[in-house]
Structure 1
Amino acid sequence: MDTAKYSYYIRTAGVPAAALPNVAGPGKLVFDYGDSAAYLIEAATAADLEAVAAKLEVLGGRLALVLKKLPE
């Protein structure tokens, strides 16, 4: 498993956007529409993303999409 940290865009469903900083860590809210949100995680490993997915499931939501941010 890759242990390097990258920035990721995640799309979530079923969890309020206000919960994402606590679930996913430092980042920036990109999109908020009802129970669907997009969030830019500043730095995370693959294991961190798995932990985010597990936390979302505990809260009754899900991780709908994960995209690695390309370097600028």
Structure 2
Amino acid sequence: MQDLQLQHLQQKIEKLLQVHEQLRAQNQAMRAAEADWQAERAKLMQQNEIARRKVNEMINRLQTLERNSG
């Protein structure tokens, strides 16, 4: 009877180790994906800032042209 219980316990431990390894791999993949998303976000924020500056420059030029032509 004890041998059967030990086998069941060993099977449960092995299953827990497998689940642990799967979760560790998933966690690592998620951390890598998060790092990629953070880098993409930073890039998009930088592009957005550049676009905002260009739009403001165009608005200023148009206002200057309007003042000079009127």
Shared fold per TM-score greater than 0.5:
no
TM-score where L is the length of structure 1: 0.25
Q: Which structure's relative contact order is higher, taking Cα pairs within 8 Å and 6+ residues apart?
A: 1
Question: Larger strand proportion, structure 1 or 2?
Answer: 1
TM-score by length of 2: 0.26
Report which of the two structures shows the higher radius of gyration computed on alpha carbons: 2
If each structure's helix is expressed as a fraction of its own residues, which one has the higher value?
2
